[in-house]
Amino acid sequence: MKKIIFTISFLAFIFASNAQITELPNGNVGIATPTPSALLEIRQKEDPNTDRALLITEPNNSQKIYLHLADNASGEYGYFHLGGNTNLRGNGVHSSFDGALGIGTPNPGALLEIKQKEDPNTDRGLLISEPNNSQKIFLHLADNASGEYGYFHLGGNTNLRGNGVHSSFDGAVGIGVTNPGAWKLAVNGKIRAKEISVETGWADFVFDKDYDLPTLKEVENHIKKNGHLKDIPSAKEVAKNGIFLGEMNTKLLQKIEELTLYTIQQQKEISNQQKNIQDQEQEIIHLKNQNEELKSLSQRLNKVEKLLKINN
């Protein structure tokens, strides 16, 4: 970097011998312009064959560094050319480097490595802030020795932590959507999880003594009229508005508990019917026995009548 600054300063010195240099009272310096609008402004000649405001070359012109002017009319971006494919472009999107880029280190171990100074008072590898330091974005370095996790801080409580467990956001989070709306988390796609905990009310009220359990006839009439169970949304409503998992699980549990009460009632009725059937069976057996006795008695009477007729 020092070599580049020296080269640029040397170029300015050479350029001064062939071009007008203006220094204003406010400290602005102009090369080939009498009214510099910045601390240093270089105004090239009206030449349609070049758009390079600054050019540094070797004697044989085999290696060069230059600043390419931006053509605002055509929407072209300026760039800083360092030779080969090493360009820094002004669109904020594309920058190409043949090798690795190191900040704070002469031997970067990746395409981009930022190494901070040995300072125990800071652990931020990258910091972006406003002039008054009221808003900032920074990367917090991880302390491997103490098992601390690094995190990406975006202001407020918006942090992405490297342990894969905790991420906090003050606002809404959208995955696959540009506007989460009123939802804290909006996902356009499928979600897979091992376990989800939902904190909501529960349907134990079904077992209260004063709970008004609908009759099965009322349930049947509601199904015939609406095509779905009472308190359960229709298929059209679900397709339009979706469902709340906690609320829906509560309603489903309510229906299961109601079904349990119906089953208990039916079991009681079945038990009573079985008792009645058993009583009736015993009565039938008793009647059969009485009938057999009557038959036997009738037969004996017939015999007695026959004997009496013979004797007379």
In a domain, 69, yes or no: yes
Confidence of residue 234 (pLDDT cuts 50, 70, 90): very high
Confidence of residue 304 (pLDDT cuts 50, 70, 90): confident
Element (H, E) at 112: strand 112-114
Q: Could you tell me the two tokens for 28?
A: 């602005």
Q: Which residue has the higher pLDDT, 201 or 89?
A: 201
In a domain, 198, yes or no: no
Domain total of the chain: 3
In a domain, 104, yes or no: no
Q: Of the spans 45-59, 155-169, 231-245, which averages the highest pLDDT?
A: 231-245
Does 94 score more than 50 pLDDT?
Answer: no
Same domain, yes or no, for 247 and 214?
yes
In a domain, 288, yes or no: yes
Which of 192, 226, 249 is where one domain is finished?
192
In a domain, 197, yes or no: no
Same domain, yes or no, for 92 and 166?
no
**Closest C-alpha among 37, 41, 65 to residue 52:** 65
Same domain, yes or no, for 185 and 212?
no
Radius of gyration of the chain (CA): 46
The C-alpha atoms of residue 270 and residue 262 are separated, in whole angstroms, by: 12
Read off the pLDDT of each residue in 264-279 and give the average, rounded to a whole number: 94
246 is in which domain, residue-wise?
Answer: 204-297
In a domain, 266, yes or no: yes
In a domain, 109, yes or no: no
Which of 50, 66, 97 is where one domain is finished?
97
pLDDT in tens, 126-183: 777 777 766 667 776 666 666 566 666 666 656 665 654 445 555 677 778 777 788 8
The C-alpha atoms of residue 15 and residue 31 are separated, in whole angstroms, by: 8
In a domain, 113, yes or no: no
Quick check: helix, strand or coil at residue 238?
Answer: helix
CB-based contacts of 196: which residues, under 8 Å, 6+ apart? 245
Same domain, yes or no, for 26 and 58?
yes
Same domain, yes or no, for 185 and 214?
no
Same domain, yes or no, for 168 and 254?
no
Read off the pLDDT of each residue in 212-220 and give the average, rounded to a whole number: 94
**Closest C-alpha among 62, 67, 104 to residue 82:** 67
Same domain, yes or no, for 150 and 182?
yes
The C-alpha atoms of residue 300 and residue 223 are separated, in whole angstroms, by: 66
